[in-house]
Structure 1
Amino acid sequence: MDLDLLSRQLMDRFQHAMPLCPEPYKAMATALGYDEAQVLACLHAMDQAGTLSRVGAVFDHRRAGASTLAAFAVPATRLHQVAERVSQYPEVNHNYAREHFYNLWFVVTGPDRPHIQRVLNELEKDTGLTPLDLPMLTAYRIDLGFSLGETP
């Protein structure tokens, strides 16, 4: 994967420290010596190329409500259809396929555990599949950031 200098700088500098201000992309551009339009165009290009999966906050779900990791064992012929259905729920922030008996994984968030259970029950009714429900018992902070060597 060939990344231009701005792409590498954006990922290196801001993967853990997005500016918390009214105009974060402008602040990012200023910090790197670019203009906001260049930063937005670069982020858009990375998104379109599949290099960037998302830009956004990561919240401690215990402070913002509740969440669970869930999975379905989906017949291969229905995987795309079920993934699309799961993604229609606003409580699901992402889902992904895995090579395993449980091959569709997703995270459900909501204001409380009963709300999450209602979503899982609806998904079971909608899909005919029983969700594997894996609520977090202990939180671990794993830093998955990787330096690209672009910032000191």
Structure 2
Amino acid sequence: MATPAVKNYLSIATDLEPELSELEKRLLNEYQKGFPLSATPYADIAKQLGTSEALVLDILQKLKSQGFISRVGPVFKPKRLGSSTLAAMAVPVEKLQQVAAIVSGFEEVNHNYEREHAFNLWFVVTARNQERLQQVLQDIQRRTGLAVMDLPLEQQFHIDLGFPLWC
């Protein structure tokens, strides 16, 4: 059986601890991985959780607006579907939020983190092909005026990470 090319739909900011309902906790725990790949994933989730699609969407929007969920979307396995790379930028501290927002604005960017280093903004770009990947990196450079260091994957050691948030 082929390994799916899509994994981990919910990117969760684990440094935040808001008061969450049991339904919110179940939604985050059960769909951090294993998000339904269907034409109606939110309806499928709602059915499995015994609630409405509208409530599932409202909860996700609320958690995203509170900063608890950074994004809802696919994370593609490197080299399995298209092309991907890790990238880094040296961003002046006073421009970090602005540059991070520009980088996060690209649908191909599925992780974006600040690090304590000269290269203080790190992100993963996954695109349909190498040409589109390079275009995204060039667009980020053009829009920010800053160089992007491209660090393509040489060997993968850890895959499909996901952590139970509540037991």
Superposition TM-score, scaled by structure 2 size:
0.73
Q: How does 1:47-126 map to 2 (within 5 A)?
A: 47-126=64-143
**Offset at 1:145?**
2.0
The structure where helix makes up a greater share of residues is 1
* Partners of 1:67 and 1:108 within 8 A in 2: yes
SS at structure 1 position matched to 2:68: coil
Q: Which has the larger radius of gyration?
A: 1
The verdict on how the C-alpha distance between 1:116 and 1:14 changes in structure 2, with shifts beyond 3 A counting, is closer
Structure-1 residue corresponding to 2:11: none
The answer to whether 1:5 aligns with 2:25 is no
- Among 10, 16, 36, the alignment partner of 2:53 is 36
Superposition TM-score, scaled by structure 1 size:
0.79
Can you give the 5+ residue segments of structure 2 that lack an aligned partner in the other structure? 1-16
**Offset at 1:11?**
1.3
* Partners of 1:6 and 1:42 within 8 A in 2: no
Q: Deviations over 1:8-36 (max 9, x none)?
A: 11112222111222222222122122122
The verdict on how the C-alpha distance between 1:85 and 1:49 changes in structure 2, with shifts beyond 3 A counting, is closer
The structure where strand makes up a greater share of residues is 2
Q: Sequence identity, in percent? A: 43
d(CA) in 1 for partners of 2:105, 2:129: 20
In angstroms, what is the RMSD of aligned CA positions? 2.4
